Structure 1
Amino acid sequence: MAGPRRDKGQPFRLSRIAIAILIGVSLGCVFAFFFPHGLLSLSPSVPNRRIGKSSLQVASSSCESPERIKMLKSEIVALSDKNSELKKQVRELTEKLRLAEQGTDQAQRQVLVLGEQHKAGPFGTVKALRTSPTVVPDESVNPRLAKILDKVAVRKEVIVALANSNVKESLEVWFSNIKRVGIPNYLVVALDDQIADFCKSNNVPVYKKDLDKSIDTVARTGGNHAVSGLKFRILREFLQLGYSVLLSDIDIVYLQNPFDHLYRDSDVESMSDGHNNMTAYGFNDVFDEIAMGWARYAHTMRIWVYNSGFFYIRPTIPAIELLDRVAHRLATQSNVWDQAVFNEELFFPSHPGYEGLHAAKRTMDMYMFMNSKVLFKTVRKDAKLKKLKPVIVHVNYHPDKLARMKAIVEFYVNGKQDALDRFPDGSN
């Protein structure tokens, strides 16, 4: 029987494997000892970085003198200040941009406040808003005036005139004709005690205004133009109280009740200084400049000014803004005429550096609300126009006011056909 066969080379192979394992373990221990972070670790560069930083610090400390450090600090402070200024400018520009954006959509917001948005209708049917809403009345502005107006006004409307002792005779003609026509809603704003007493003695509704010291002298002693400038400040309270005012100068003869002839569709409804259809209602005026050759003709739009001595004004925001603008300019600018300022604020459009007034305006019928130029230059010489009875006649073009006022009463009230003949067209 044969016994198991032994391979003589097996012990040798086992010894070689053991040796290889031993060598591998030994090499691993060696590498682990000398390279604890691995062969590809970046740790060797750390000492380099430390050395570099240290060397830079040494170089910096050796190169930078105290003067250099002081200069660098001052530069840092200057840059900090400049940065603060730039931040301030950015804030200012941001605020201007915000305000500009607000102005851009202001009209849109106003439309939204006034009512809901609508689609445009068919051609020829679209009509824009013409009448601004009235303000909420505020009786706390002037309780004493509020009580007077509550008794005098009719349907929240009243004729208002300012007067001092210089125009006493003309004032008497003024209120005598108002009484004769039967107009109940009128009020005289007395600028001195003499006129207040005169009105009370003639049973004329009167309101004695407490004036500021700065304008008291003008109110008591001023002429027509000076007194006229005060009315824009005084009228503001009437509007704030919620009343529409028909502002009237004293040199006006009333022949009909003006409230029966108003449209009330605008912020301001005024008589014109124009003397015919073109000048009163506007016209296309052609300016000729020969040097321009082919483009020598330039078309312009012209209208004669509104008369600031007779106009109807409603209690609206645009109307109050108009009074504020005119009153401010008259108080801060020298050598200005209230009527010129009144018209500039009404008509000048918005343009660079100026925001125009957004107020609706209407020109009164020049034959119903007649100025003295129309009467003496045209109407009295025309047989047909002489038969027309105006609502009022304003003696604004002539300095001999009282004499012409009395002649107008003789002509229109007493029927004296030659009462106007003795006066020239203009003034002597």
Structure 2
Amino acid sequence: MMKGKKEAMGQRGAARDCRILYAVVIGVTMGIFWAYLRPHGFFRPATPSTLVVDRVGGATSKLDGAVLGLEAKVAMLEREIKRLENENKELSVFKIKNDVLQQEATAAKKQLEALSPSVKIGPPGTVKSIRTNPKVQPDDSVNPKLSALLKKIAVNGELIVGISNNNVQEMVKIWFESIQRAGVTNYLIVALDDEIAKFCTDHDVPVYRRDATIAKVQADTGDNHAISGSKFHLLREFLVLGYSVLLSDVDIVYLQNPFKYLHRDCDVESMSDGFDNITAYGYDDVMDEPSMGWARYAHTMRIWVFNSGLFYIRPTVPSIELLDRVTAKLAKEKAWDQAVFNEELFNPSHPGYDGLHASRRVLDFYQFMNSKVLFKILRKEANFADYKPVTIHVNYHPDKHARMLAIVEYYVKGNKDALKHFPDGSEW
């Protein structure tokens, strides 16, 4: 009996030992299999390469954030600069308006003083005559279409007016681009043909289409002179409508706003063909005639002519009379319009002739410069290397387009060699 129990217990112990052995074998096998599939276990440790990627990624993220922040600041600064530029333009316009109002107030005060009832004359130096003539009363009925256009374009009742046909299209482009670059918006082209009118319209340039009235006597004086002579007739309507005009040839480059440099105290302010203080502003020229003995020296007053390609004219009675006189003379005589313009401005009354009582001013020849001053003098002077004129008129040279391009290169684009290869004068 006891022997049977022992045998039964021995069989159960053997069975248990077999199950434990099987469990160990299965566990070891599964461990080897799992170790093969997941050598790093359930949680993969951070390797050096992973750490590097994480760090670089973090740094890149921070750098991207910094770049985005910098771009936002730059954009903000650009908006602020744009705002300040717009404010500066507005302030510039207000300044010109204020200057004009002050000039008009001063002129009105002088007119009132001169027209006041007779008073006792003060000490020397206190007596002043009228130079700033009053403006005419505007008459819109003269040209309603032009009047409506000028009301949109003019600023302070004044504007730049250029007159051109399609023969000088390349120069017209340099002309209006320089005006725009100078910040001037009150300008207009009087187009003498459909081609130049379309060209201006395509470039968003204010344009007024008008046929030129050229006198028969001027028909064979050359295209430029014939058109130049007709401008006095065309200009009359602007003045009768009450507008002051800076009449401008298209062979002029604008580098600054010219309205900031006008005085508005005379009927006509004009650039000069003179090249220094003496020739531009007048001098005592002495003629020597030895045969006269004691009276051999005769003193004369001379001034180089006003340039009829750039002058500011106010809407006054003497100004309109000047235009009418020049137009009438050019209709009867084969003459150069600039010569006639100066004769009517300067010739005094004498037997058989009543002189024009128009006040006049010579503009600063370094500000409103002719091309003789630039190419013969100024470009060679080191003291003027950084000087910028208001306008430069290529009136002394026939290669106008090339010199206008060179002026833009020199003063706008900063090419200091742009003017060097041109001769002082013209090459025949």
**Fold conserved (TM > 0.5)?**
yes
For 1:114 and 1:244, how far apart are their aligned partners in 2?
24
Tell me the equivalent position of 1:226. Answer: 226
Name the CA distance, whole Å, in 1 between partners of 2:288 and 2:215: 48
1:160 aligned to 2:156?
Answer: no
Q: Deviations over 1:392-421 (max 9, x none)?
A: 000000000000000000111111111100
Aligned to 2:255: 255
After superposition, give the CA deviation of every residue in 1:23-52 in whole Å (9 maximum; x if it has no partner).
Answer: xxxxxxxxxxxxxxxxxxxxxxxxxxxxxx
Q: Deviations over 1:253-282 (max 9, x none)?
A: 000000000000000000000011100000
Q: Aligned letter for 1:379?
A: L
**Normalising by the residue count of structure 2, what TM-score does the alignment of the two structures yield?**
0.71
Q: What displacement does 1:209 show?
A: 1.3
Structure 1 residue 387, shift from structure 2 partner? 2.1
Provide the residue aligned with 1:202 in structure 2. Answer: 203
SS of equivalent residue, structure 2 residue 225: helix
User: Structure 1 residues 420 and 148, CA, compared in 2 at 3 Å: closer, same or farther?
Assistant: same
What does residue 67 of structure 1 align with?
none
Taking structure 1 as reference, are residues 116 and 134 closer, same or farther at Cα in structure 2, changes over 3 Å only? farther
Q: CA deviation at 1:154?
A: 0.1
Partner of 2:375: 376
Of residues 386-395 and 243-252 in structure 1, the stretch that sits farther from structure 2 once superposed is: 386-395
Q: Determine if contact 1:218/1:227 at 8 Å carries over to the other structure.
A: no
- 1:344-383 equivalences under 5 Å are 344-383=343-382
Matches of 2:425 and 2:172 in 1, distance apart?
Answer: 23
- Runs of 4 or more off by more than 3 Å in structure 1? 110-118, 210-215
8 Å CA contact retained: 2:370, 2:396: yes
- The match for 1:30 is none
Cα distance in 2, alignment partners of residues 308 and 423 from structure 1 = 25
Aligned residue number for residue 21 of structure 1: none
The answer as to whether partners of 2:193 and 2:211 remain within 8 angstroms in 1 is: no
Contact 2:135–2:242 under 8 Å retained in 1:
yes
Report the Cα distance in structure 2 between the residues aligned to 1:212 and 1:285, rounded to whole angstroms.
Answer: 39
5 Å matches for 1:8-19?
Answer: none
**Aligned match of 1:63:** none
Please say if residues 159 and 186 of structure 1, whose CA atoms lie closer than 8 Å, have aligned partners that are also in contact: yes
User: What secondary structure, in the 3-state scheme, does the structure 1 residue paired with 2:379 have?
Assistant: helix
Matched residue count: 316
For 2:210 and 2:415, locate their aligned partners in 1 and report how far apart those are by CA, in whole Å: 39
1:130: how far off? Answer: 1.1
In the TM superposition, residue 388 of structure 1 has moved relative to its aligned partner by: 1.4
TM-score by length of 1: 0.71
Deviations 1:271-320 (A, max 9, x none): 00001110000001110000011111111110000000000000000000
Structure 1 residue 235 corresponds to structure 2 residue 235: yes
2:417 and 2:378 map into 1 onto residues whose CA distance is 13
Which has more radius of gyration?
1
What are the Cα deviations for residues 139-173 of structure 1, in whole angstroms up to 9, with x where unaligned?
Answer: 00000000000000000001000000111110000
Aligned-CA RMSD value: 2.0
Identity %: 64
Counterpart amino acid of residue 202 in structure 2? S
State the AA in 1 paired with 2:338. Q
Structure 2 CA distance for aligned equivalents of residues 402 and 138 of structure 1: 38
Q: Which one-letter code corresponds to 1:249 in the other structure?
A: D
C-alpha spacing 1:198/1:185, structure 2 compared with 1 (3 Å): same
Once residues 213 and 223 of structure 1 are traced to their aligned partners in structure 2, the CA distance between those partners, rounded to angstroms, is: 10
1:177 aligned partner, one-letter code: S
CA distance in 2, matches of 1:403, 1:367: 22
Please state how far the C-alpha of 1:118 moved relative to its aligned partner: 3.3
Q: Which residue of 1 aligns with 2:308?
A: 308
The CA deviation at 1:128 is: 1.3
Q: Which residue of 2 aligns with 1:176?
A: 177
The alpha-carbon deviation at position 117 of structure 1 amounts to: 3.2
- CA contact under 8 A between 1:166 and 1:223: conserved in structure 2? no
In structure 2, C-alpha distance between the alignment counterparts of 1:211 and 1:159, rounded to whole Å: 19
What is the DSSP-based 3-state SS (H/G/I as helix, E as strand, rest coil) of the residue aligned with 1:378? Answer: helix
Question: What residue number does 1:82 align with?
Answer: none
Describe the SS at the equivalent of 1:319: helix
Structure 1: where are the runs of 5+ without partners? Answer: 1-109
- One-letter amino acid of the structure 2 residue matched with residue 254 of structure 1: Y
Report the secondary structure of 2:232's partner residue. helix
Deviations 1:105-135 (A, max 9, x none): xxxxx99995433332112211111100000
Partner letter of residue 405 of structure 1? M
Alignment of 1:23-422 (within 5 A): 114-211=115-212, 223-334=223-334, 336-422=335-421
What secondary structure does 1:284 align onto? strand
Give the drift of 1:201: 0.4
Cα 1:148–1:356 change in 2 (3 A) is same
DSSP-derived class of the 2:201 partner: helix
CA distance in 1 between counterparts of 2:314 and 2:130 reads: 16
SS of the residue 1:426 aligns to: coil
Contact 2:212 2:230 in 1 (8 A): no
Q: Distance in 2 between matches of 1:287 and 1:242?
A: 44
